[in-house]
Amino acid sequence: MTNTTNTSAPVALVTGADKGIGLETARRLAGAGYRVYLTARSSERGRAAATAGAQFLELDVTSDESVRHAADSVEQAGGHLDVLVNNAGITGPMRDPHDYTADDMIEVLLTNVVGYIRLIHAFLPLLEKSDDPRIVNVSSGLGSFTRFHDRNRIGAFVGTPLYAASKAAINMMTVQFASLLPNIRISAADPGLTATDLSGGQGHSVHDGTDAIIAYALAARGGPSGTFADRDGTVPW
C-alpha cells in the first residue's frame, strides 16, 4: 500500500483497520488510488499498520468524543468523505447458554451496532458532500436467518447468539438507511469465514474476505444499494 497525499483522490475511511479484514480493505482501497484513513483504537497498532500505507487516524467507535474528533479531522483535511467502511467489531464471549448475561450483549452491541450508527451519524455531513457517497457495513452470513435455518450449512450449528444477533441488526439497519438515504449507496458485505484473530485463523485469506467489501466500495456510479453480498454474490437475508 503506497501512501498518498493526493488531495484530488477519492477519500475512504475504514474502522478497525489495524489488522485483519480492516487492514486489507485499507490496503486495497489505497492501491485503487484512494486517500485512506486507517482507523483503530490503539495508536501503537494503528501507526504500525499505517506504515504500509494510508494515514492513521485514532478512532474508538464506542466513544462519541473520539468519533467527533475523527470527523473533524477528516473535514479539516479535505471537507468530504466518499467511502465509509464500518468494519470494527467484536465476537463477544462464547459461553454455555445459561451463562450469557445482559452485560455480554451490551458489550457486543455497543461496538458492532451502536458503533456503526455513531460513525454514520458523525460522517453523514461529509458523505453528503461527495459526488458519489457509499457506506459499506461489514456484516456476516451468521446474521442471515435464511442461512441459519439451512441445516446443511455449518453456520446453522455455530453457537454465537451475541455476534449473530448484532450482524442481523446491522443487516436491518443497512436496508433501512438505504431506503431513507437514497442518495447514498449503503450495503452489507459478508466476508465469509476469513482467517483472522476473530476466527482463530480459520478460513480463506483476508484478500478473499475483503472481495465483497471492495466490490461495493469501488462499484461504478449507480451500483447496488440496500443489498447483502459475499464474494460469490447475493446472500439471503
pLDDT mean across residues, the chain = 92
Mean pLDDT score, 181-200: 90
Structural domain of 94: 11-234
pLDDT at 2: 43
37 belongs to the catalytic site:
no
For residue 83, is pLDDT > 50?
A: yes
Mean pLDDT score, 194-206: 80
For residue 53, is pLDDT > 90?
A: no
Any idea which of 107-111, 193-197, 222-226 has the lowest mean pLDDT? 193-197
Q: What is the pLDDT of residues 6-41, one digit of tens each?
A: 668 999 999 999 999 999 999 999 999 999 999 999
Positive or negative: CA dihedral 142, 132, 116, 32: positive
For residue 201, is pLDDT > 80?
A: no
What's the predicted TM-score (pTM) here?
A: 0.93
Higher-confidence residue of 3 and 167: namely: 167
Contacts of 26 (CB under 8 A, 6+ apart): 1, 12, 14, 17, 36, 38, 49, 53, 54
Quote the percentage of the chain above a pLDDT of 70: 92
Does residue 183 sit in helix, strand or coil? Answer: coil
Higher-confidence residue of 50 and 177: namely: 177
Mean pLDDT score, 164-190: 98
Specify if 5 maps to a domain: no
Contacts of 83 (CB under 8 A, 6+ apart): 10, 11, 12, 13, 29, 34, 133, 134, 135, 136, 217
Specify if 6 maps to a domain: no
For residue 207, is pLDDT > 70?
A: yes
For residue 3, is pLDDT > 50?
A: no
Specify if 4 maps to a domain: no
Specify if 89 maps to a domain: yes
pLDDT at 1: 47
Cα separation, 90 vs 2, in Å, equals: 29
Domain with 200 in it: what CATH number? 3.40.50.720
Positive or negative: CA dihedral 138, 104, 114, 167: positive
Specify if 2 maps to a domain: no
Mean pLDDT score, 86-105: 95
For residue 178, is pLDDT > 90?
A: yes
CB atoms within 10 A of CB 189: 31
Q: Which of 37, 116, 163, 216 is catalytic?
A: 163
DSSP string, 210-223: THHHHHHHHPPTT-
pLDDT at 6: 62
CB 86 within 8 A of CB 69: no
Q: What is the largest CA-CA distance in the chain?
A: 54
- Look up residue 127 and give its three cell numbers: 458523505
Q: What is the pLDDT of residues 109-161, one digit of tens each?
A: 999 999 999 999 999 999 999 999 999 999 999 999 999 998 776 655 667 99
**How many distinct structural domains can be found in the chain?**
1
Specify if 1 maps to a domain: no
Q: What single DSSP character describes residue 204?
A: B
